[in-house]
Amino acid sequence: MRLIILLATLSIATPFIISQVATSFGSAVSERFLERPTDSDDPRYTIPPETATGKALNGDTLTEWVQAQGRLANGYATRVIPLDILYLVFLGFFLGIASTTLVGSST
């Protein structure tokens, strides 16, 4: 039971930690531009700049952004994405252990 509570706590807390880490790598990373579409019709995916308008997301603009914003891109790849994976691991273990515990207690 303690393990379930620990995993639930980690699953709840990790997204807050991720958002705090992501904000230190600029607006493009904190807005999670690779994962979230914009509200506009075309283009749906853009790279939000530190200015008013964004560029359509494609191979060329992504390469350009990585070259221009190397520190931000490196932080996204080495800090934010591993934390995302850790969150999925915590959530997966929590759901798996909690569901098997519930099934075991109902029989």
- In terms of pLDDT, which residue wins out, 31 or 77? 77
pLDDT in the model for residue 51: 47
pLDDT in the model for residue 59: 87
Quote the domain boundaries for residue 31: 2-106
**Is residue 50 a contact partner of residue 65, using CB atoms and an 8 Å limit?**
no
**Is residue 33 a contact partner of residue 69, using CB atoms and an 8 Å limit?**
no
**Is residue 103 a contact partner of residue 10, using CB atoms and an 8 Å limit?**
no
Whole-model pTM? 0.80
pLDDT in the model for residue 9: 97
Name the domain count of the chain. 1
* Mean pLDDT computed over 10-24: 94
pLDDT in the model for residue 107: 66
35-93 tens-digit pLDDT: 777 666 666 777 776 545 667 788 888 888 889 889 999 999 999 999 999 999 999 99
